[in-house]
A and B are shown apart, each in its own frame.
Chain A
């Protein structure tokens, strides 16, 4: 593999995400502008300028026409994805962290961190992504529903069960299910011993992979919150993804960024690690980053993957044929 190195951000990456077809990729970082890339050769198409703080997460609409970003500058912004124009801004009073579009893209759920005595909250806003830009119809002025969550950061959010339930991952290793109509806490389970840094859905949305600072990644059923599989890495896991093509789970992470300079480069464990989804064994890794990996993503066809690191680089890897033909069992 000869990966493409994308140096669009000078600060640590926070999330990399493919669009539905897998030809575009968005990268968010702690600097102010997310970048849009061609996913095959890493050409930069554009940057989205306007944010005034770290961009934590993003969401791409199904038709790849809209981009939603949530940022530490206390805004959630909706962009015209092909042109980079800002269409709408949802202003909050707290840093915004995770965001997710519902199925059908009529609702947007996002989370805010606890700030100035206000607990962490989950908000649901009506959105109409097809509305004419400038018509003021793109998103509601106020969230239709806001509810408090227990102490601790809400790191990721997602819609499950036909938009009836919201699934969130939290500091402290909790995964919680919320009624999307009322905001009532339905179930909670502590699946990890430490903070969950990332939660990504499987292709069919029936289970998620959680990445945690307790040095494991786990497959969790979205309905029962039952832990299906555990992948032990021996390093902080910052992000994990499920291959849509093979029975593989990709985990990225590495030792804490604050300790990188105090240890040998090899001790960092900054490789992207591949685990067999069923057997839970690590069967391979791909090195490259010289800092912890903050975000990993599989292309929707499962033939390439992208990693975003603390070192400010995004690397796009296209698998060699050997990856698909080799037997691991």
Chain B
């Protein structure tokens, strides 16, 4: 089997060879199986042309019956004797026809399904990241231990959940307990919550909203609830989840019913080491400003 590839063909000076052209030389095949054929000829204009053809010589061994070699010499007969190339009775298809696997495809789809089902059935996501959770829990316990011994630096002191928040200027006090305050009136004047015409949903989203960033990947909404609940009633927790990977994107929004609670949460949780990362908690910019 030889595949020829013309590398170059260069015109030679007439004077160099005169009328007589050098004979064709064949070199090789060399150690790489490359055969080099050097030919000299003249084109229509009478220019002497040197043509070097390099071809790779590959030997393919195939066992055949002796008798089949004889059969190759058989004369064509019938319609085959008169057929021409133009009849194209035998054509090798240009397109590559694959051997399409059926079962394998099914198997992989089934496997995926099985995996999904198994994951769904085995309680919640926490079992999947169980080992990591354990590790983080262990670390937190170690920190607790250090703190108990008074060895932990102040910077990493956990939030005091009942810490007394300083009264921010211009903030009204919380409504009297027991008396009903309609949601639309709640926290009125507290940071100028959305206009009255806004839908409830919109207000809920924008009011007393905290942005929590630098979350670790295996934090769930339940975890955030647990973390933020001690400071007061929460109206909404939104954890940004990557649609493709299903993992969270490292930030979340938490809305408090009361602004004071939100303030307290910022003061206590900003800079708090949660899992192995230091949380960053701040006021979420209103929708329009976020951009």
B65 contacts A21, C-beta separation under 8 Å: yes
Cα distance A44–B79 when bound, in Å?
9
Least Cβ–Cβ distance between B77 and chain A, in angstroms: 4
Inter-chain contact B76/A286, CB cutoff 8 Å: no
Q: Are B71 and A82 in contact (CB under 8 A)?
A: yes
A6 nearest in chain B by CB position: B90
- Whether A188 is near chain B, meaning CB under 8 Å from some CB there, is no
Question: Are A7 and B79 interface neighbours, CB within 8 A?
Answer: no
A167 to B103, CA, bound (A): 34
- CB contact under 8 A between A47 and B77, given known A2-B96, A23-B64, A82-B71: yes
Please tell me which one of the listed residues B65, B77, B90 contacts residue A43 in the complex, with CB atoms under 8 A apart.
B90
Q: Is there contact, CB below 8 Å, between A281 and B103?
A: yes
Query: Contact between A2 and B80 (Cβ–Cβ < 8 Å)?
Result: no
Q: Is B93 an interface residue (CB 8 A)?
A: yes
CA gap between A64 and B72 in the complex, in Å: 13
Q: Is A5 within 8 A of B91, CB to CB?
A: yes
A317 within 8 A of B: yes
A44 touches B90 (CB 8 A): yes
A170–B235 Cα gap in the complex (Å)?
77
Interface residues of A in 15-47 (CB under 8 A from B): 21, 23-24, 33, 35-38, 41-47
Residue of B nearest to A82 (CB): B74
- Complex Cα distance, B74 from A37, in Å, reads 11
A315 smallest CB distance to B (angstroms): 8
Asked whether A8 lies within 8 Å of B89 as measured between CB atoms, the reply is: yes
- Tell me whether B43 is interfacial, beta carbon within 8 Å: no
- Find out whether the CB atom of B104 lies under 8 angstroms from the CB atom of A283: yes
Are A45 and B101 in contact (CB-based, < 8 A)?
no
A320: CB under 8 A from chain B?
yes
For window 46-64 of chain A, which residues contact chain B by CB distance below 8 Å? 46-49, 64
Interface size on A, residues (CB 8 A): 46
A213 to chain B, nearest CB (A): 22
A84 and B77 contact, Cβ closer than 8 Å, known pairs A5-B91, A284-B102, A286-B100: yes
**Cβ-defined contact, A23 with B91, below 8 A:** no
Cα–Cα, bound, A328→B133 (Å): 39
From residue A316, how far is it (CB to closest CB) to chain B in Å?
9
Chain B hits for A322, CB < 8 A: 99
Partner of A24, one of B71, B75, B76, B95: B71
Q: Chain B contacts of A290 at CB under 8 A?
A: none
CB distance from A7 to the nearest CB of B (A): 6
Contact with B along A257-290 (1 / 0, CB 8 A): 0000000000000010010000001111111100
B86 in the interface (beta carbon within 8 A) = no
For B198, list chain A residues within 8 Å (CB): none
Whether the Cβ atoms of A47 and B80 lie closer than 8 Å is yes
Give the shortest distance, in Å, between B126 (CB) and chain A (any CB).
Answer: 37
| B97 with A282: CB separation less than 8 A | no
Chain A residues closer than 8 Å to B99, beta-carbon distance: 1, 274, 284-286, 319-320, 322-323
> Out of A23, A44, A281, A323, which one reaches B71, CB within 8 Å?
A23
Please give, as numbers and ranges, the residues of chain A lying within 8 Å of B96 by CB-CB distance.
1-2
A-to-B contact residues, CB < 8 Å: 1-8, 21, 23-24, 33, 35-38, 41-49, 64, 82-84, 271, 274, 281-288, 317, 319-320, 322-323, 326, 328
CA distance A17 to B117 in the complex (A): 49
Given contacts A3-B93, A46-B76, A281-B103, 20 further A-B contacts (CB under 8 A): A1-B97, A7-B89, A8-B79, A8-B89, A21-B65, A33-B78, A44-B76, A44-B90, A45-B77, A49-B78, A49-B79, A82-B71, A83-B77, A283-B101, A283-B103, A286-B97, A317-B97, A319-B99, A323-B99, A326-B101
Q: How far is the CB of B110 from chain A (nearest CB, A)?
A: 13
List the B side residues contacting A288 at CB < 8 Å.
93, 97
Which of B65, B72, B78, B92 is the one whose CB lies under 8 Å from A4? B92
- The DSSP consensus for interface residues of chain B is loop
- List chain B residues, Cβ under 8 A from A319: 99
Interface flag for B142 (CB, 8 Å): no
14 contacts between A and B (CB under 8 A): A1-B97, A5-B93, A41-B90, A45-B76, A46-B78, A47-B78, A49-B79, A64-B67, A82-B71, A282-B103, A285-B99, A285-B100, A286-B97, A286-B98
Pairwise interchain contact B74-A44, C-beta atoms closer than 8 A = no
The answer for the CA separation of A326 and B92 in the assembled complex, in Å, is: 25
Chain A nearest Cβ from B106, distance in angstroms: 9
Chain B residues 76-124 with CB under 8 Å of chain A are: 76-81, 83, 88-104
9 nearest CB pairs, A to B = A47-B78, A46-B77, A84-B77, A23-B68, A42-B90, A283-B103, A47-B79, A44-B80, A46-B78
CB <8 Å contact, A46 and B92: no
A contact residues around B97 at 8 Å (CB):
1-3, 286-288, 317
> Distance (Å) between the CB of A89 and the closest chain B CB?
17
In the bound complex, residues from chain A placing their C-beta under 8 Å from that of B74 are: 45-46, 82
- The residue on A at minimum CB distance from B95 is A2
* CB-defined contacts of B72 to chain A, threshold 8 Å: 38
Q: Which B residues are CB-close (under 8 A) to A5?
A: 90-93
Q: How far, in angstroms, from A7 to B78 measured CA to CA in the complex?
A: 15
Task: Please name all residues of chain B whose beta carbon is closer than 8 Å to the beta carbon of A49 when the two chains form the complex.
Answer: 78-79
CB distance from B74 to the nearest CB of A (A): 5
Measured CB to CB, the closest approach of chain A to B179, in angstroms, equals 70
- Least CB distance from B99 to A in Å reads 5
